[in-house]
Structure 1
Amino acid sequence: MNTQRIPHSPGPRAWLGLLVVLGPVLLVAMDGSVLFLAMPEISRALSPTAGQALWILDAYGFAVGSLLIASGNIGDRYGRLKLLMTGTAVFGAASAGAALAPGPELLIAFRALMGVAGATLLPSALAVLSALFTDPRRRAKAIGIFAAAFAAGFAIGPVVGGQLLSSFWWGSVFLINLPVVVLFLALAPVLLREVPATPAGRTDILSILLSASGILLTVYAIKHAAAEGLTPTPVATGTAGILTLGWFTRRQLHLEHPLIDFSLFRDRVFTIAAITGLLPLAAWSAMAYLSGIYLQSVLGLKVLDAALLALPGAAALTLTCIVTPALAARTGTRAALITCHFLIATGLLLLLATSASSGIGWYVASTIITGLGYGISFSVVADTAVAAVPPERAGSAAAIAETSNEIGNALGIALLGSLAALIFRLQGPHIAGTLNETLQAPGLTATVIGDAKSAFVTALHITAALAGILHTALGIFTLRHLPKAPTHTDDTYPGPGPGGPLAQDTTGNHSIR
């Protein structure tokens, strides 16, 4: 039997370093979702338009997703710990600015700045973590904890936001970041060490600008069309965005050191894993946002009660993320990928049983079942990305995996959220562009209020059904097209290569256990 064993194990300093690294990880993940239950309060305080409300939610996610790949390359070149500390400091300053923003425009700007800083944290944190744990088994355990913390941050974000809003004003959901930032900046220089820079090649500034502007132009067009119809403005910006993204893709194919190596997508395993990183986050973010409005504005629950209802799903997601690495080692990553999509689809379709007058039980059941699927997907994608690359490229590889998550998080609100907004605009009482704006209008009759709530529930149902169908389709595609690998019998940690989670089949594609 061929084994690989590392004679030394990490000491207490490594595990303390892991705890310190988890602080920024939790912040980045939590701030991607902390506003889902806070938006009704922010809408009442700042009165954003329908478009501004969506940008408040996903300016952060798009900034993170647009810059993650570049941040991974910069960290590889100039030092990951240095970038991690700088990004954390900027993240704290931007959080304070967001908490004190007097209007929606400044709040959007500070949310975007938080996203720019957040983009530096995830790939750098995972690379520093990988350097702390050189033993493959313990590194796998540490990465599992990292993935669980990231998933927990997304899951508990709405809960934390709801708890804070029950006692404080809306800005408290940002100020909660500051103690974690201060603690990290104090302990990181003591417990963490710099990872040696590697010659990762020149960072292509034009590629960064093309990717970010292409995404923003395209999403702006989608939001504008959903809120106001298909006018010349969204057509022009959407066309410009698509052309810009096409330019970005073409440029990557000819660069020696591209931001995204598109040749990786020739591998079926890599492609399915990347989509698995994107689609579940898209579904989760959109449904968490829409469900927050459903619970508060349709069913009339207080924000604290809505937050408490999110706890079972958050617990299911977090626990699943913790136990998935051990289960995947026995059943194989292929089975985990297939299972996660069918679980998510089942949970999403349960939301079709909700109505404008009842549905709390269906909502809780949906969050628990989808939480199981989300937890599996988060764990599998993160572990596969790190196991497939050499340690010196961990920053760039982690950036690719986390980019799919963050872009999925933002796209869920941008695309599925815009779909819900379009349906409400077409089905609603035509008073305002969103349910919250409509309910704030003076002199509403009970009939108009009922029509507005029913229109929102219809939008929720159609959005959930579409997301469920997409997950079902991806689950079937994974079942039919993801190649199997020989059963692994080695008792050591299965790393990349023959017999591990990533193996080569006879066609050159990776096969998955």
Structure 2
Amino acid sequence: MNTHTLSIPQPASRKAWLGLLTVLALVLLVAMDGSVLYLAMPRVTSALLPTADQALWILDIYGFVVGSLLIAFGNLGDRYGRQKLIMAGAVIFGLGSLGVACSTTPASMIGFRALMGLGGATLLPSGLAIVSALFPDPRQRAQAIGIFAATFAAGFAIGPIIGGLLLQRYDWGAVFLINVPVVLVFLLAAPVLLREVRAARHGRIDLPSLVLSCAGILSFIYSIKSAAAAGFALQQAVAGAAGLLALAAFVRRQATIPFPLLDLSLFKDRIFSIAILTGLVSLVVWSAAGYLSGIYLQSVLGHDVFTTALLALPGAVVLTATCVGTSRIVERTGRKAALVATHLLISLGVFLLLFTTTEAGAAAFVASTLVAGVGYGLSFSLVAEVAVSAVPEARAGAAGSIAETSNEIGNALGIALLGSVAALVFRLAGPGVAGTLNETLAHPSLSNAAAQQAREAFLSGLHAAAGVGGLLMLLVGIAAWIWLPRRLPG
């Protein structure tokens, strides 16, 4: 009788559900931050007048810092406690948000965005571990993790609306100031509602690996972005070569140390490799399309910030709904078909941006986000699940960390790489007044002909980036169809 009683799962307490809500507040902030920044960038560039490469750094330094530190901070959380780490991260994220809101120069904004990334590197992995520990019953735990993922997707949906409302009435800094009171409420509630989580076993953090990964990523991307904005020079070539050498040394070191930051042996499994590649490339396309489309709608078509937010809403709603309904889609189609469909839908959606012109394009943009939104929703829900299911249970934590890292790096690489493609086209085809569209349009003596040339050059850059991004997704989709087995584990 006692055995039977113990086998009945105990429902989670009210405190556990309140703890979930506390963590979700931070998750919502992180998700909103990305979509709000894309929307605010035209205002930011008009106010701070960053150069072309500074504008790209403002957008992607956060993702690079998070992606570089995510696995290392996961290790720190295992050793010292997830609750301590997420609270420290929330403080840093809040201070970075306050600093960004008060920035008066591009350099200070880049620095404070990096500080936000330092805090953000603790929030998602630590939050997920804490949520999992709050719900010992597997069924309720799965439900809580589903709510966690849906909240992250919903942040992208409501971010542009909240951001649009704030930007209509206040300066661009207001979209970052809203983070501060949420962080304060979290810091008051977390000690009461959350409990500490540590791993039973952990390895030491390899500092040389951490330095090599950060230096390699930042140096390589700096060389690409600087070359696109200002042309090739010895400085860019040296930085690019140094970055590649650092990354090569990082990969080599991971194969020789007992506790690597990146478990390369996991990539021997083709299912795992395709899942990680899907997460990486889909976020590359996602971030570049969001960034360039926001500038296009406001600076080329002339829509105000709130109208731009409303145009982005249908796609964000479709994305959120797809996240919620992915399990049902997978039941009907199977995991392989759903994963391949991810690539095809994103590719098709991005290719629809090729129908935009300098006179009209809002309808093409909405159609693009609706089609691609289904693909992004599938990707956000499937990538980590497929990656974790492809490896032994004992290595599920490492697989999940790599999946999270691929998303963050992809988010930053999209703006850096595809954004650099657009910047290069603009530099070659534009009127040569300045390195960015907003800088050019703000020039006091700009003629109407030069302004039109600048808009057409930016549109050509958008089309080039969309073409490259859509082709990348299509190629990965073909590889997934060929290499993946008919039935995926899970």
- Under a length normalisation based on structure 1, what TM-score does the superposition of the two structures give? 0.91
Q: For 1:283, which of 285, 293, 300 is the aligned residue?
A: 285
Instruction: State the match for 2:300 in structure 1.
Output: 298
> C-alpha displacement at 1:394, in angstroms?
6.5
> C-alpha displacement at 1:335, in angstroms?
1.9
> C-alpha displacement at 1:6, in angstroms?
6.2
> C-alpha displacement at 1:311, in angstroms?
0.6
- Inter-partner Cα distance in structure 2 for 1:279 and 1:154: 18
- Pair 1:217–1:191, CA change in 2 (3 A): same
Instruction: State the match for 1:503 in structure 2.
Output: none
Instruction: State the match for 2:435 in structure 1.
Output: 433
1:366-445 to 2 correspondence within 5 Å? 366-385=368-387, 396-445=398-447
Matched, 1:84 2:86: yes
Q: Which moved more, 1:167-176 or 1:329-338?
A: 329-338
Q: Which moved more, 1:331-340 or 1:95-104?
A: 331-340
Greater share of helix residues, 1 or 2?
2
> C-alpha displacement at 1:333, in angstroms?
2.0
- Inter-partner Cα distance in structure 1 for 2:32 and 2:208: 30
The one-letter amino acid paired with 1:458 is: S
- Whether the aligned pair in 2 keeps the contact of 1:67 and 1:208 (CA below 8 Å) is yes
Instruction: State the match for 1:456 in structure 2.
Output: 458
Q: For 2:95, which of 88, 93, 96 is the aligned residue?
A: 93
- Superimposed CA distance per residue, residues 462-482 of structure 1 (whole angstroms, 9 cap, x where no aligned partner): 111111111111111111111
- Superimposed CA distance per residue, residues 70-114 of structure 1 (whole angstroms, 9 cap, x where no aligned partner): 111111111111111111111111111111112111111000010
- Pair 1:156–1:400, CA change in 2 (3 A): farther
- Whether the aligned pair in 1 keeps the contact of 2:266 and 2:391 (CA below 8 Å) is no
SS in 2 for 1:484: coil
Instruction: State the match for 1:162 in structure 2.
Output: 164
Q: For 1:127, which of 129, 154, 160 is the aligned residue?
A: 129
Q: Which moved more, 1:237-246 or 1:363-372?
A: 363-372
1:5-404 to 2 correspondence within 5 Å? 7-385=9-387, 396-404=398-406
- Whether the aligned pair in 2 keeps the contact of 1:425 and 1:433 (CA below 8 Å) is yes
- Whether the aligned pair in 2 keeps the contact of 1:76 and 1:393 (CA below 8 Å) is no
- Inter-partner Cα distance in structure 2 for 1:76 and 1:14: 21
- Inter-partner Cα distance in structure 2 for 1:392 and 1:118: 26
Q: Which moved more, 1:55-64 or 1:395-404?
A: 395-404
SS in 1 for 2:136: coil
- Inter-partner Cα distance in structure 1 for 2:298 and 2:64: 26
Instruction: State the match for 1:505 in structure 2.
Output: none
- Pair 1:206–1:466, CA change in 2 (3 A): same
- Whether the aligned pair in 1 keeps the contact of 2:271 and 2:386 (CA below 8 Å) is no
- Whether the aligned pair in 1 keeps the contact of 2:75 and 2:202 (CA below 8 Å) is yes
- Inter-partner Cα distance in structure 2 for 1:382 and 1:144: 12
- Whether the aligned pair in 1 keeps the contact of 2:254 and 2:262 (CA below 8 Å) is yes
- Superimposed CA distance per residue, residues 389-442 of structure 1 (whole angstroms, 9 cap, x where no aligned partner): 788876644322211111111000000001100011111111111111111112
- Inter-partner Cα distance in structure 2 for 1:358 and 1:298: 9
- Inter-partner Cα distance in structure 2 for 1:131 and 1:165: 38
- Whether the aligned pair in 1 keeps the contact of 2:319 and 2:377 (CA below 8 Å) is yes
- Whether the aligned pair in 2 keeps the contact of 1:334 and 1:512 (CA below 8 Å) is no
- Under a length normalisation based on structure 2, what TM-score does the superposition of the two structures give? 0.95
Instruction: State the match for 1:504 in structure 2.
Output: none
SS in 1 for 2:485: coil
> C-alpha displacement at 1:336, in angstroms?
1.6
- Pair 1:304–1:446, CA change in 2 (3 A): same
- Structure 2: any 5+ residue segments left out of the alignment? 1-6
- Pair 1:207–1:6, CA change in 2 (3 A): farther
- Pair 1:71–1:204, CA change in 2 (3 A): same
> C-alpha displacement at 1:135, in angstroms?
2.8
Q: Which moved more, 1:370-379 or 1:396-405?
A: 396-405
The one-letter amino acid paired with 1:103 is: T
- Inter-partner Cα distance in structure 2 for 1:483 and 1:215: 33
> C-alpha displacement at 1:330, in angstroms?
4.4
- Inter-partner Cα distance in structure 2 for 1:408 and 1:159: 25
Q: Which moved more, 1:352-361 or 1:470-479?
A: 470-479
The one-letter amino acid paired with 2:426 is: F
> C-alpha displacement at 1:312, in angstroms?
0.5
- Whether the aligned pair in 1 keeps the contact of 2:269 and 2:390 (CA below 8 Å) is no
> C-alpha displacement at 1:210, in angstroms?
0.8
- Inter-partner Cα distance in structure 2 for 1:94 and 1:216: 20
- Inter-partner Cα distance in structure 1 for 2:211 and 2:143: 36
How many residues are aligned here?
484
- Pair 1:333–1:310, CA change in 2 (3 A): same
Instruction: State the match for 1:495 in structure 2.
Output: none
- Pair 1:199–1:157, CA change in 2 (3 A): same
- Whether the aligned pair in 1 keeps the contact of 2:276 and 2:387 (CA below 8 Å) is no
